[in-house]
Chain A
Amino acid sequence: MFMTRSEYDRGVTTFSPEGRLFQVEYAIEAIKLGSTAIAILTKEGIVLAVERRTQSPLMVPSSLDKIMEIDSHVACAVSGLTADAQSMVEHGRVQAQNHYFTYNESMPVRSLTQSLCALSANFGTDDEDSMSRPFGVALLVAGHDVDNGYQLYHTDPSGTWTAYKAKAIGSGSEGAQTTLQEEYKDDMTLKEAENLALSTLKAVMEEKVSTANVDMASVAPKYEIYSKDRIKEIIERL
């Protein structure tokens, strides 16, 4: 098994005879090692919740940023290699600002997601800003625009994007996704979504939930990162 694989492991752009790109598949595997991130879409807005895994008591938790603003109307939660996420978010920010500069309107969320995916799928080419390997990161892109309202997209290292109502990624994603599937309702309020996101996260986390090890944000319709006090309030609500 391993031997057959390795023959097609040398080039990132080489298909195996079964039609697989191993490096891309490994990259998708890498995300399952990442911290858990959850996003839930409601009619009132989108909630993002992520786990912060501090490996040492000496580490400053606030330096682990897993929710990032792309534009005032779009944010993303990430899982996997955060360095790769930084590159993608930086690309997205430039695209969003360029769109506003040229068209005098906020960039539609789907266009922005597609642009991020185009970057993801552009590994191994001769292009100037091309990576030599796939990005080892998955994003939950949450945003709002005038034409299509609230939208939540999941992107993976292959450059595939999918719209979701609720999605979990990272190490606890399997269990979390099952919970979301059972608990999600189309007419949820933002507050209920906050509760569901955090309780789901709590269930899959090894540590006890605290303001130090979770981060939350919403897009409703503007991006807002939650303060410690606000997260504390939600923890107490559970």
Chain B
Amino acid sequence: MPHDGSGPTTRANWSPYDNNGGTVLAVAGEDYVVCAADTRMSTGYNILTRDYKKIDQMSDKCVLASAGFMADAVTLKKTLKARCTTYEFQNDKPMGCVSFAQMLSNTLYYRRFFPYYTFNIVAGLDAEGKGAVFTYDAVGSYERTNYSCQGSGQGLIMPVLDNQLKTVSPLVLPAQSSATPLSESEAVDLVKDCFATAGERDIYTGDTVEIWIINKDGVRKEYQELKLD
């Protein structure tokens, strides 16, 4: 090959994004919400750490779980947490999860042309104390649902949730509750099964599942070990 620069060159290249993997999931009940995420952080075929928590509490009864690019997720969460604190000072109440959901959407959309590469789920209790799950795309489209799953294990878990939790169509009149009929402990068991399944087949899901349960008594956490491979 000639060394005059005319041949192809291989150089170190860079991208502003990385996919650090991970799965996040949430299920809303009549008076509770369960939010879960694995704690693996990967890049390519490397596991960087087995202890990266993807769920953070944003306000009183509202948590945010993000998969995708961790540096974006951390930045996003720092920004939102600061806004929640300011909100609490200005309005003398913790930010509700419906408000938080809207704020997250706006925050993501403001970065429409250099997006946060994050896949988010907001879980919390709404003003009536009912479980609420909000699911997003990277640029802020969002929807309130009664269950959702995002991240690397989405394709494995979502069909299971559809099968187990599909409830009455919102088209049915008179309107019926869209919350899952499961009890809190049944929902937690389902979440554990889902992660065990995803951990089996998805290399980006594993190590530990962190499960947050929010109900009228407050916030509680449970952990389940997954395979390390």
Contacts from A to B (Cβ < 8 Å): 101-105, 108, 110-111, 114, 146-147
Query: Please, which residue of chain A has its CB at the minimum distance from the CB of B103?
Result: A102
B189 within 8 A of A: no
**In contact, A111 and B90 (Cβ under 8 angstroms):** yes
Nearest 8 Cβ contacts at the A-B interface: A104-B102, A103-B99, A111-B91, A108-B91, A105-B99, A102-B103, A111-B90, A103-B102
On chain A, the residues within 8 Å of B101 by CB distance are 104
B171 within 8 A of A: no
A95 CA to B102 CA in the complex, in Å? 16
A111 CA to B96 CA in the complex, in Å? 16
B93 within 8 A of A: yes
Query: Can you list 21 contacts pairing A with B, beta carbon distance less than 8 Å?
Result: A101-B106, A102-B99, A102-B102, A103-B95, A103-B99, A103-B102, A103-B103, A104-B98, A104-B101, A104-B102, A105-B96, A105-B99, A108-B91, A108-B92, A108-B93, A110-B92, A111-B90, A111-B91, A111-B92, A114-B90, A146-B127
Interface Cβ pair total, 8 Å cutoff: 28
On chain B, the residues within 8 Å of A104 by CB distance are 98-99, 101-102
Q: Chain A's interface: helix, strand, loop or mixed, by majority?
A: helix
On chain A, the residues within 8 Å of B103 by CB distance are 102-103
A103 CA to B95 CA in the complex, in Å? 9
**In contact, A147 and B93 (Cβ under 8 angstroms):** yes
CB distance from B35 to the nearest CB of A (A): 20
**Known pairs A103-B99, A104-B98, A108-B92. 8 more at Cβ < 8 A?**
A102-B102, A103-B87, A103-B102, A104-B99, A104-B101, A105-B98, A111-B90, A111-B92
